[in-house]
Amino acid sequence: MKLSVEISKYPLHQDYIPFIKGFIDRVKGYEGLKVITNTLSTQIFGDYDLVMSVLNTEIKRSYEEFGKAIFVCKFLHGDLSPSED
């Protein structure tokens, strides 16, 4: 089963950019995921179990390393990634 996720991270820290970039870079490092970023959010597409496992690992790591942050997520069934025409 495929999954599409749109996620935004809001670190409760004055110097927030490195926290966001670190999260995105780590997620992009996993094989089997398609990751698209823009100025407002990150979209992640892939196998349901892989996407959820990556998010579980990386959200937990974010809390452990950087403390308080807000994650806003939308989960949609299927691969809704844009075509690469």
Kindly state whether residue 82 falls inside one of the protein's structural domains: no
Average pLDDT over residues 8-24: 93
Provide the number of structural domains found in the chain.
1
Supply the range of the domain harboring residue 7: 2-77
What pTM value is reported for the model? 0.92
Domain annotation covers residue 66: yes
Please determine, for residue 85, whether its predicted confidence score (pLDDT) is greater than 80: no
- Torsions phi, psi of 48, nearest 5? -50, -50
- Is 83 within the bounds of a domain? no
Residue 63 in any domain: the answer is yes
pLDDT digits (tens, 9 = 90+) for 25-65: 999 999 999 999 999 999 999 999 999 999 999 999 999 99
Q: Residue 28: which CATH number?
A: 3.30.70.930
**85 assigned to some structural domain:** no
